[in-house]
Structure formats: C-alpha cells, structure tokens
Structure 1
C-alpha cells in the first residue's frame, strides 16, 4: 500500500488530510467582508468551463471549493495549498474538477446538473479567511426553430393568421422581411413570445416572417414563412 507521503509528493492528498495542512498555515477565524466572489458564468452543455474569481486576496494560502451556498464539508469539491502545490479531493468531487493555484476551478464536460451556486473559501496568512459565491448556468445550444402558420393564404379584412415558433430557447424575436417586426394594434404576442396572432390581416401584412431564438450561449433563426394576402 502506498504511503501518505508518497501521495502528497505527487501533489494529491485526501481531503481530510488537507485540514491538517490548513491548520499549520492558518488558524480559523470568522469571515472578513465578502469581497471575494466567483464570476457568474454561462456555459454550453458538454464544454469545459473555467470558474474564475474576482478580488482574489493576494496573501491566500489555501483555496477550497464547494457546491451550493456555504462551506459545508460534505459539499467540498476540491482544494489546493498554494505554496505547496498540494491538491485534495472532497466528497463532492466528480472526477471533472481541478482547482488551480490562482483560485479558479476548471470543470470539464459540464452538464445541466452542474447549474447552481458555488462557494470558494480562501484562507489567508494573517489567520483570517474570505468566502465568496457565484453561479454557473449551463445551457443546451438552441436548435433551429420550426415556424408554422395556421394559414399562409388569407383574405384581407376577413381572415386571421397564427404563427407559432417551436423552440427550446429562452428568448424569441420576430422578423418581417428581414427587419425587426413592428407590432400593430392588430398583432398580439403570447406571454412567451412564441406565438404571433394577426387579426384581421391586411395587405401590408403580406411577406416573409421569421423567428429568431436564443439563450445566453447561442442563437439561430427559422426558415422564413411567406404570408400571401388576397384582396
């Protein structure tokens, strides 16, 4: 069986062992002002993401990362003793995380289950510590939306038309003949902007309609649907 000293030599120790290393470098004390923070980050599902920190204390000797809000031991992901380059893995480690000496954490092949808040604790040389929080949001790249019309050939002043944009995106915008659609008193959008109703139609409504969908990491647009208005 390999000795603990051999494991530490390679820069990896059990997370319980890191607590002893911390105690040799700093004593526990209440958190100082919450100036340390994790940069809010949006990421595409399946990609690697680097969770960065801002206002990093220059005299930090240990960084510890946790899932969720709060430094609870059972949610500890991984840690690093900066000067010794010693890494430790916590109970919440999934095999995809790595804490860097600058305090950032690399998270590989993110999934939507990784969405949520994270906590970082920095232990300082002056026997104090700072704690910071931040949120990671993981999104699926948006798929090309499908735009369908209840009818593509209508009579002026008599008929109405309903255009529906089918999408998995969080945001929807409408275009008419390649320009942003300017709503009139005869046009109505649904609460999620995915359905456009024109009632009644007029000849000036004839043309090409498109919906553009997006989320914080991607966007795409539908194939145009042409509306023909008879009069």
Structure 2
C-alpha cells in the first residue's frame, strides 16, 4: 500500500473544504467564483473549470495560469459578441473557453495542477476569480478473486473478494446490483461477498467503485460455471404416447427420444423390461418392431456433476381395438360390436318374456270344458 495515499486523500478533503468555504463566502456576497466541484481533475480526462455567478453581459473572458491576470500568464480569451478566441503565452493547445466562459482542458496532466485566474470584462467593470486546480491519478481498477468458479446449484457457496483501497464498493451478480439478503452476505467493509446457495442465474460477478468525479471503475467479470439439472425429462415418440402407452403394430418403425435441461450435458441410458440396453444416445429407433421388443421402456438421464438422476417410462404394445369395417367407410370397433350383441340378446329375451307372459295370461283367463259343464249344471242350463 502507498503510504502517501492517506495523506493525498486528506489533502484532497482539505482542498475541497476550503473551496466549499470559499464558495459559501462568494455566494454570500454574490461574487463570481470558480465552482469547487470543478477544481479536481483526473489525469487523461477532460477538466472543465466552471464559472459561477458570472455576469451575463460579459464582453470578454480571459483565463490565466497563476494567481495574476497578467498578459504573460494568459492562456486563452474569448469575446462573446464577436465569437473570437485568442491564445496567450501559456496556451498548450489543449485549452478552450466555452460560450459561458468556462475553461476546458483536454487530456489533463499532472503539470496542469496549480492556480487559475479568470477575468471577466463587461466594459463598465472587471470581475476576477482564482481557484486551485488539482489533477489526480484515477483510482486503479479493482481486482476480484473467488475461491472457486465451478459450483453446483443449491449445494455449493462462493466467496469473492474485491481488492481495492476504495471504501465505496458495490457488488453485482449477473449484472444486477445486490446487497445482503437471505442468500448473500456482504462484509461490513464491503470487500467480501458470499453467496450461500448459488443458483444458475449467478453466472457473473464483479465489483465496482467510484473514484474522482464519481467515475465508476469496474473489476474484471468473474464467470461462474453452475452445474444444475436434470430438471425434467421430456419424451417424444413416433407413434405418440397416450396415457403412458405407445401402440404400434408388429413390423412397424418406432422412434423414441428424450431430452432434459442440464449443465453439463447429461448422460442418457435406456432400459427394456428392467434390463439396461447398450444404447447411450438420447434417441432410439426400432426399424421393425418385433414381439420380443414389446414391453416397458425407461429413459434414464443423469448428471455426473450434480449426481441427480431422472427418468421417464412408457409401455409399447400392439393396438387393442381392431376396427370393424361397415359399408361406405363407416366402422364400429370390436368393443361396440360386443356391446350391440349383448343388447340384442337382452332385447330378445325381454320380448320373449313378454310373449310368454301374455300367453300364460290368456290361458289362465279362458275356461276348460269341465269347468263350463260344472257351471251349467249349477245354473240348470240345457
């Protein structure tokens, strides 16, 4: 660590405090002054010395190097009515004056540090202001380190450290600003980030700091390889599966494939009636289905890193419902034929029962000859 850095920061704070005090005094009396916020520049960047409370009817702005506004110290001047610029002995080719009277210094260097004086002429009066400009080195880019870059989702944790002398550190996970929560912890000095349960969305880590003039400086992006899955096994077959059953005729072609979301790419295995097959691809084709290939199939997917395994299974069998063709393209399935036969038999039995019942009823009502002779005898009929 540079031992002069704390002293440099202290000096910067003292300069800023003095400038703020001067700003307050100038504002109190309504005098022109150079904005204190613009009196700190960064090496290699553009610096703009901003005038405050300047008169609006200025006829000439002239900037000088040093505490005096002499001709020998003049950098550049600008006359608004005529839109003309004039360079002086201290002009380096990097300075310019805006239409509002601000001094612009391109590609600021350490040698630009020092006093600057501006003179504003209105024709009736002249205003002057002086300020000390300090050009500083931009804070070096922070460095990031992590204990690992390959993790398993919901299992492993990651600890990252941001190496910087700055104190205003911000952490980003997957390009989103984060803070301490149930899943992450940021140390009190903001230099350490711990992700307790890494997810597949935690793909990028970096830290960021604010330097002079709030210029952000970001570390390199640390990419994480997060292993996850398989989440779900999806089956696609031809013919299609219905309620776990794939119906196919003997001799027909059957295509089977399964996919899964997983990092790294998973391994595929197939089993038939409980026996592991030699296929290790995600898809299988049976060009001519045989009787011995009927039965239960299972697609097994496993991730060797996460050590998770999932599977899907289905049954291959011949079609059970054989259609019965009726004229003109109409057909009735075998199950419906059986149902119709049963209904016809039951209807026939029902009709026969009615006929038998009616016959018996008629016989019981009509009288036999013996019964008729008995009735006539009792009534004394001839």
Task: Give TM-score, length-normalised by structure 2.
Answer: 0.36
Equivalent residues in 2 for 1:1-231 (5 A)? 33-38=29-34, 40-41=37-38, 45-46=43-44, 51-67=49-65, 70-71=67-68, 76-80=73-77, 82=79, 87=86, 89-90=88-89, 92-99=90-97, 102-114=100-112, 118-131=116-129, 133=131, 140=138, 146-152=143-149, 162-166=159-163, 171-183=168-180, 187-189=185-187, 191=189, 193=190, 195-196=191-192, 198=194, 202-203=196-197, 207-208=202-203, 210-215=205-210, 216-218=214-216, 220=218, 222-226=220-224
C-alpha separation in 2, matches of 1:59 and 1:179: 49
- Which structure 1 segments of 5+ residues have no match? 1-30
Q: Which has the higher contact order (CA 8 A, sep 6+)?
A: 1
1:196 Cα deviation (Å)? 0.4
The structure that has the greater radius of gyration is: 2
TM-score, normalised by the number of residues in structure 1: 0.52
Conserved? CA contact 1:60–1:123, under 8 Å: yes
Contact 1:97 1:107 in 2 (8 A): yes
Judged with a 3 Å threshold, the aligned counterparts in structure 2 of structure 1 residues 61 and 165 are, in CA distance, closer, same or farther, namely: same
Number of paired residues? 190
More helix, by proportion: 2
Unpaired runs of at least 5, structure 2: 1-25, 228-305, 307-382
Any idea what the Cα deviations from partners look like across 1:17-65, whole Å, max 9, x if unmatched?
xxxxxxxxxxxxxx99453244544877545555443433134344332
CA distance in 1, matches of 2:175, 2:56: 52
Structure 1 75/210 Cα, relative in aligned 2: closer, same or farther at 3 Å? farther
CA 1:35–1:189: 2 relative to 1, 3 Å: farther
